[in-house]
Structure 1
Amino acid sequence: MNAPSRIRMNPPVFYFAATFILLFALTVIANPQAAGEWLLAAQNWAAHTVGWYYMLAMTLYLVFVVVTALSGYGKIKLGADHDEPEFSYLSWAGMLFAAGISITLFFFCVSEPLTHLMQPPQGEAGTVEAGRQAMQVLFLHWGLHGWGVFAFVGMALAYFAYRHNLPLALRSALYPLIGKRINGPIGYAVDGFGIIATVFGLGADMGFGVLHLNSGLDYLFGIAHTQWIQVALIALMMGAAVMVAVAGVEKGVRVMSDINLFLACALLLFVLFAGPTQHLFNTLIQNLGDYLAVLPRKSFDVYAYNQSNDWLGNWTVFYWAWWIAWAPFVGLFIARISRGRTIREFVFGVLLIPLGFTLAWMSIFGNSALTQVLDHGMTALADSAIENPSMTLYLLLETYPWSKVVIAVTVFISFVFFVTSADSGTVVLSTLSAKGGSTDEDGPNWLRVFWGVMTALVTSGLLFAGSIDSLKSAVVLTSLPFSVILLAMMWGLHKAFYLESQRQIAQMHSLAPFASSRRGKGGWRQRLSQAVHFPSRDEVYRFMDDVVRPAIAEVTEVYAEKGLSVITQEDPSHDNVSLKIGHGEEQPFLYQVQMRGYFTPSFALAGLGTQELKNRRYYRAEVHLAEGSQDYDLMGYSKEQIINDILDQYERHLQYLHLVR
């Protein structure tokens, strides 16, 4: 087999995305006031013109992944049929759990519900009903829709990379639609738009994070809440993130992330048990029930009869655009850790595991803040949510015991989340703008540095152009073209699933019977001996050399005489040999015989010592097709029987091509 090429920059993707982002950043930095006004006007246009589209698109992404998981396609593996998950279920769940935590949870968990309380999309402000509606909206913004688009992108990346051996890139999802042209201008444009959306999504996250950290430092040490301080914080933390990304100190980062996760859970439990615990448990269940009850209606609620388009654009449309912008980043991460999972367990794991923590966090902090305002008259907290939202969480924590220590811990947790998110973001951006290498290989270090600098520039420029409003506007605008690409990816993924189902139907057609028995001509005694024989590595090597390779060579010669495009590939280690037949633009036929080792069963090891039994292995010459192992062994077949098996599988492949034409 040919070794994968070295990973390197993908020039068309890199130059397209980098040029757009650099020009945008320099324009905003050079003319911050004019850029801020233009961005705000553009967001108002988007809210009034395509707000309905964002609402519909996000609902389609969610419905698509849920229906796919519940259908027969849910049994398909994200990888070859014989692939097993790399991580245990517990470890995988833990990583999904960590993926759901971001510094923006700290920024919005208090400020958003209080803002909706005082400025509701409909109804009277400052009432108990407004507070209940605020939690419904909060759960909508942080609930299933967002994780649905993450699950969709992760599923598409993992399916085409691990099951069809295409690049771990967004363009691969369009292969069923445009074929090899994914490696041309159309495919590169798809990856470029994905990078642009991701940079602005990360920039928004970084902008909210910097505002949150600046407020914490202001509260603790009196550090001024100014734009230049924020730029200094961006440079400091992005510099730290880039150094971590380049150094590759994964173990240290992982340990720090684990500690941070523990501290975040501790902070959540502290707020729960130091506050009105019984009320917070009650409201958590109430909020969950309200959310599930209004989910279908809220998914399509554009407030068309309330004339609240400005509210919709500032909140729901922004959130949907932000989730879309983050989808390549988080989707690539969850695809990397999910090889070997079925689509069904992948979808429901991604939808439900992080969601539980996120909604619990939002409910506990949000209802704690609502209680302070509605029951204790703390109107200053509500005013802060509107006038200075980045300070609101600290003002809430001020009402708890040991507030200074708790706030200091919160600032520390936020800082580490900031660095780890930015670190992961630069690595993902470098991968999206690179080509070659294996699917598990990250992009070059210099690309990580470059994208770190670009993201920092974009964030700084947007903060100067109008702070929060500019961050929201940029995300809404840059996510718009990528949202259309996601719809095309959905079409491509659906077509790929259809083709897979037709392949399974074709596998059930046996178009030509075998010329002779599969197990030789020595009668039932030889058949039984073969069944209980567990060959050694050397026996399988000899079988591969003496029987399998001559059979494939003979078939290759005949296929070549018929004018077919035939390629035989052999691994340097001689562990496998394969035959590949091209069919132009149609999917090629692949037949591979691969030697695989297994531990010998104990009943076959009578008379051996314990240590010998433990280490003894046997080997099989297994048949693999393009979709993975077929789970049967050729040992004991004659050359003629192997040739018949190749022909049988090839005729099934032709039947598959017939069904999908």
Structure 2
Amino acid sequence: MNTLKNPLLSLSIGLIFLFTLVVFLATEASYEGIERASLWVRNYFGHFYLYLGLACVLLLLGIAFSPLGKIRLGKKGTRPEHSLWAWTAMLYSAGMGAGILLRAVQEPVFMQQHPPYLSDLPPETLALEFTFYQWGFTAWAFYGLFAMVVGYALFVRKKKVRVSATIEDTIKNPMARTGIDVMTIITTVFGLIAAVGLGTTQINGGLNHIFQSQFGLTTTLSLTFLVSAIAFYSAWQGVDKGIKVISKLNILVTMAILLFVFFASDIGAILRSFATATGHYLIDFVPMSLAWGDYDPGIAFLTDWTFYYWAFWLAWAPFTGIFIARISKGRTLRQLLLGVLVLPSLGTFFWFSVFGTSSFDIIDSWGSYSGEFGNVFSSIFVFFENYPMASLLNFTTLFLLISFLVTSVDSAVFVLSMFSDHGKKSPGKRHRLIWSVFILLATMAMILLGHAKPDIDVLTAVQKLLIVTSLPFALFMVVMAGVFLAEVVKRP
């Protein structure tokens, strides 16, 4: 395979390599530039992100319950390729994964200790409600919009697996379409670097907490290599033999941990918290989504939390949405949209209810709180110290962190390979190898840079870069949704 004959592949890799080189040679200047750009985006487009998120949720619900919801992704009578259980496991592993372990305890406790706004609700209920808001319908609506549009283009209109295929009948310029695909690839790669960096850092934090040691750079690099190697094998095997198997394992282990904590805690309190916070979330969803009136946490809080989350979900939407589209053949738009919006959201709400409510109870039993759950990388391991079989829970969590990272990377490698291999639904294995190796090297380079320049938090810079790169997607999503609606409305 000659990459020179594949301009999308060579251009994408060349640009990412160039960016990495510039960051290495001018680290301080690059960091400051990224910082200024991310603040500019959040200051001027932060509320646009909020409006876009609400619009996506309402649009998907409207389509799901309209006659358009009957449109099937495939020929009439086509049955879903994957069972509901396997489908849910794969979309959840790709779309959330290690993030729910990273924030399981730290975020609800932070929201309880620092309420986002004044409210008549108890701090614990408000904390869960706001956590639900940041992990619920809006995140999955961003994913669902891409999944719907790409799935329609792929299985109904028989287009190639590329984001540009969704608008190619409207935007005829080939350079513009190539630019859209390059932008998608670059954002996906940096999103993966941030995710793997965060995940391996949490694994390192867990190892240091368990063994009371100081594992450093060598361990982080080894973990990165391990995750990338397993992800490559999974992507090499394909959806059915690799990605699906690991995704199912992830969900089973996650459910085992969840149920253990649930039954070892105050079951009644958890169920009441889940029901109450979910009810308030549904009632308050619109004003929260608009940061309207009493529901406005202020620009500082929104910038640190909601704007960042929305930008992160947007940055992950292309590859996650395309992966969901790829595994959704045979489902109707109604099944796809309601499944994507409701099933993972409710699962996430229950997850945070279990860990959040249990954390609140632990803090109450202590009588005071001194930031024990404040470290995002070690909070869940500190939490497990308050339960029987803490060592088993901690080691199981470490395993799950690695496994979730694998499913995020392998699904991204598969989608990137579909892009670079001319939009094929089953891309060549050489493309999977190229992207696996390149993601490994790019992640290692960023980790090494972080240690070479201790005064610069490179991982934070990459995350802030996602806020910048997600802006074009936020604007593009408006165009993409408009083109899609115009097509389906005219559909006979």
Q: Does 1:238 align with 2:248?
A: no
- Secondary structure of the equivalent of 1:159? helix
Question: 2: CA distance between counterparts of 1:225 and 1:47?
Answer: 35
2:447 aligned with 1:460, yes or no? Answer: yes
Alignment of 1:328-477 (within 5 A): 328-374=318-364, 376-380=366-370, 382-385=371-374, 388-435=375-422, 437=424, 439-441=425-427, 444-453=431-440, 455-457=442-444, 459-460=446-447, 463=450, 465-466=456-457, 469-477=460-468
Choose which of 244, 267, 271 in structure 1 pairs with 2:257.
Answer: 267
Q: How does 1:83-232 map to 2 (within 5 A)?
A: 83-96=78-91, 98-99=93-94, 101-123=96-118, 129-178=122-171, 180-181=172-173, 184-224=174-214, 226=216, 229-232=219-222
Are residues 169 and 255 of structure 1, via their aligned partners in 2, closer, same or farther at CA, if it must alter by over 3 Å?
closer
Between 1:250-259 and 1:213-222, the stretch displaced more is: 250-259
Instruction: State the shift of 1:291 in Å.
Output: 0.8
Letter in 1 for 2:9: F
Q: TM-score, normalised by structure 2?
A: 0.90
Q: Secondary structure at the match of 1:177?
A: coil
Q: 2 CA distance for matches of 1:87 and 1:248?
A: 14
Instruction: Summarize deviations over 1:194-222 as a string: whole Å, max 9, x none.
Output: 11221222222212211210111112223
Greater RCO, CA 8 A, separation 6+: 2
Question: CA offset at residue 314 of structure 1?
Answer: 1.5
Letter matched to residue 486 of structure 1: M
Cα distance between partner residues in 2 of 1:8 and 1:167: 19
Matched to 1:301, the amino acid is A
Is 1:313 aligned to 2:306, yes or no? Answer: no
Percent identity between matched residues is 28
- Which structure carries more helix by proportion? 2
User: Closer, same or farther in 2 for the Cα pair 1:266/1:167, shift >3 Å?
Assistant: same
Alignment RMSD (CA, Å):
2.9
2:234 and 2:241 in contact (8 A); partners too: no
The 1:430–1:139 alpha-carbon spacing in structure 2 relative to 1, beyond 3 Å, is: same
Task: Give the Å deviation of 1:15.
Answer: 3.5
The 8 Å contact of residues 80 and 330 in structure 2, kept in 1 or not, is answered as yes
Q: Deviations along 1:380-400, whole A, 9 cap, x unmatched?
A: 4x3541xx2211111111111
Unaligned runs of 5+ in 2: none
Pick which of 259-268 and 448-457 moved more: 448-457
Aligned position for 2:472 = 481
How many Å separate the matches in 1 of 2:132 and 2:373? 21
Secondary structure (helix, strand or coil) at the match of 1:240 reads helix
Deviations 1:427-467 (A, max 9, x none): 21122222064x34456234323442355157527855416
When residues 366 and 51 of structure 1 are mapped into structure 2, their CA distance, relative to the original with a 3 A threshold, is same
What does residue 3 of structure 1 align with?
Answer: none
- The answer on whether the counterparts of 2:235 and 2:243 sit within 8 Å (CA) in structure 1 is no
Which deviates more, 310-319 or 230-239? Answer: 230-239
Q: What are structure 1's unaligned runs of at least 5 residues?
A: 1-5, 505-661
Structure 1, 476-485 or 14-23: larger mean CA deviation: 14-23
For each residue in 1:220-239, what CA deviation from the matched residue of structure 2 results, as whole angstroms up to 9, or x when unmatched? 22342545643443234223
Amino acid at match of 1:241: A
In 2, the alpha carbon distance for the partners of 1:309 and 1:43 equals 14
| CA shift in 2, pair 1:72/1:256, >3 Å | closer
Provide the C-alpha distance between the structure 2 equivalents of 1:404 and 1:131, rounded to a whole number of angstroms.
28
> After superposition, what is the alpha-carbon deviation per residue over 1:134-165, rounded to whole angstroms, capped at 9, x for unaligned?
21211011100111111110111110111111
Residues 375, 104 of structure 1: alpha-carbon distance in 2 compared, 3 angstrom cutoff: same
How far residue 90 of structure 1 moved from its aligned partner, in angstroms, is 4.9
Q: CA deviation at 1:277?
A: 1.6
In the alignment, what sits opposite 1:524? none
Q: Partners in 1 of 2:423 and 2:161 — Cα distance?
A: 10
Q: C-alpha deviations, 1:559-617, integer Å up to 9, x for none? A: xxxxxxxxxxxxxxxxxxxxxxxxxxxxxxxxxxxxxxxxxxxxxxxxxxxxxxxxxxx
More strand per residue: 1
Q: 1:245 to 1:452 in 2, by over 3 A?
A: farther
Structure 1 residue 13 and structure 2 residue 13: aligned?
no
Aligned equivalents of 1:102 and 1:351: distance in 2?
16
Deviation at 1:289, TM superposition (A): 0.7
Specify whether residues 116 and 174 from structure 1 end up closer, same or farther in structure 2 by C-alpha distance, changes over 3 A only: same
Report the Cα distance in structure 1 between the residues aligned to 2:328 and 2:3, rounded to whole angstroms.
24
Aligned residues of 2:81 and 2:330 also touching (Cα < 8 A): yes
TM-score, normalised relative to structure 1: 0.68
Q: What's the counterpart of residue 31 of structure 2?
A: 36
Mapped contact 1:142–1:358 kept (Cα < 8 A): yes
Letter of the 2:476 partner, please give it.
I
Aligned to 1:24: 19
> In the alignment, what sits opposite 2:67?
72
Q: Identify the residue that residue 281 of structure 1 maps to in structure 2.
A: 271
Q: What is the alpha-carbon distance in structure 2 between the residues aligned to residue 166 and residue 253 of structure 1?
A: 24
For residue 417 of structure 1, report the CA deviation from its aligned partner: 1.5
Counterpart Cα distance in 1 of 2:19 and 2:35: 15
Contact 2:109-2:373 within 8 A present in 1 as well: no
